[in-house]
Amino acid sequence: MTPNTSLVLHGSSASRTSPFPDGLTILAPDSTGTLGAAGAASATPSYTGSQRRITITRNGRLLAVIGKHGDGPWVTWMDPPGRTGASHVTRGDDLTGKLWKASLQATPTGSLPASVTLANDSTGAECAYVVWGSVSTSDTIANLWFRRLTELDSPLGPIVGPLVSLDTPLNVALVDIVAEGMSPSQRLFVSYVRKTAATPTYETTVACITNLDTDSPTLSGRFTVVTGDTSTIKSVSLISGRTSTAIVARTPGGIFKLWVRQSTDAVGTWTAGTAAPAITGISSSNDVYPSGVQASSDEWLVALEYSTTNNSLRFYRWSANGGTVTNDIDLVGTGGSTGYKQPCLADNGQAAIVVMRRMTDDTVVARRWTKELGWQTSDSVLISSEQQATWTFPNVERSCRDGKLRALTGSVVIGDQSSRAILLQRSTI
């Protein structure tokens, strides 16, 4: 399939009139390095589609949380036209954008799931809140890690607050965070999977941060979404709506379910929606990563890769209150160079957009959903095979209301095997 647009790869030495031109921009590393080299981007720096890796401040600065090989998550930023370009320079607890401290725990992989969201403190100042944990509850990270970033638009770089542990069970995995409500009464919700016993016992959990003024908040209103004695419950993601918030989670038996709360509800209040039908052939591992948005119709759209072996996707649609659920479409592969992988959803106020890997030609593609027409049946190519790279986990900015679709994706170049974190931007399809 011929791409809709000609994409140009912009490296650190390329001439730019805009820090985020339509096309591809290297965010890390600044120069080509061998896959696995110190300081290089992880092969999966945007892991996973259930997390949210990029966001735009009210003054137009792009913030990205990128996984670096052996160094965990880092923050990088890029300014709008007329100001400085991409930078890893920060202030406060770290001067290089590094969010991890290896002295506190064993040095992690760069593929740790991490999420960032923006919210206002009580003075109206915009802050960024970052959380991360393990890929899986069989890994060694036993903390729900958190940092607050302030002075986000300063030319000197944002201030990185201290590293804080919000929870310390036996293990924490698949962390996500969203903001709810309007300033000055905003709050944050954090979802994650906790390992609570050696038997083992797992809990999919959501909890609240109500004090947005402190670098060292505490969790309140903890709600246990589902409990299981096997790792098969380990898929969870939050969805931020206009006046409500939802959480989609896998329950035992490979069944996905939605829980919804209104912004006026008491902290800790979540209402269970209707469970989706069980998925035949769902992967037994924790690699089923749901991604969701609230559409302009107030419905909740969710995409997930239910078979990582066959490269098969499913698209659900829940009603606003979660009371009804529809299986809109399946994209079924048979493994190898067939099917699709790693979907991630965005919404531009008029249509929902899924960005995903197409395995037949190793490209990154997109499709639109509208209430009137449903999901498109053909793909728009965002990154073509001409780029000579393997792409991993496109992670989109969930709300692309400024007319731009942005995605952070990993790239391993065919040939020299160098790894990069790539920012894709183009006008929405």
Looking at per-residue pLDDT, the higher value among 165 and 8 belongs to 165
* Residue 321 predicted with pLDDT over 60: yes
Q: Are strands 171-180 and 164-167 parallel, antiparallel or unpaired?
A: unpaired
Question: In sequence order, what are the residues at sequence separation of 6 or more whose Cβ sits closer than 8 angstroms to the Cβ of residue 90?
Answer: 75, 96, 97, 149, 157, 158, 159, 160
Q: Which of 29-33, 122-126, 180-184 has the highest mean pLDDT?
A: 122-126
Lowest average pLDDT, out of 8-17, 34-43, 325-334, goes to: 8-17
**pLDDT tens per residue across span 212-270:** 999 999 999 999 999 886 656 678 999 999 999 999 999 888 889 999 999 999 999 99
- 268, 259 contact by CB (below 8 A): no
Going by pLDDT thresholds of 50, 70 and 90, the confidence category of residue 104 is low
Distance between CA 76 and CA 282 in Å, rounded? 36
Mind listing the pLDDT tens digit for each residue in 295-318? Answer: 999 999 999 999 989 999 999 999
What is the DSSP pairing of strand 62-68 with strand 363-370? unpaired
Token pair listed for 397: 């900015």
Is residue 8 over pLDDT 90? no
Taking the C-alpha atoms of residue 129 and residue 187, their distance in angstroms, rounded to an integer, is: 11
- Rounded CA-CA distance 158/92 in Å is 8
Least confident of 43-47, 150-154, 392-396: 43-47
- Residue 302 to residue 292: CA distance in whole angstroms: 4
List domains and CATH numbers for the chain. Answer: 9-296+391-427 (2.115.10)
pTM to 2 decimals?
0.91
- Mean pLDDT, the chain, rounded, equals 85
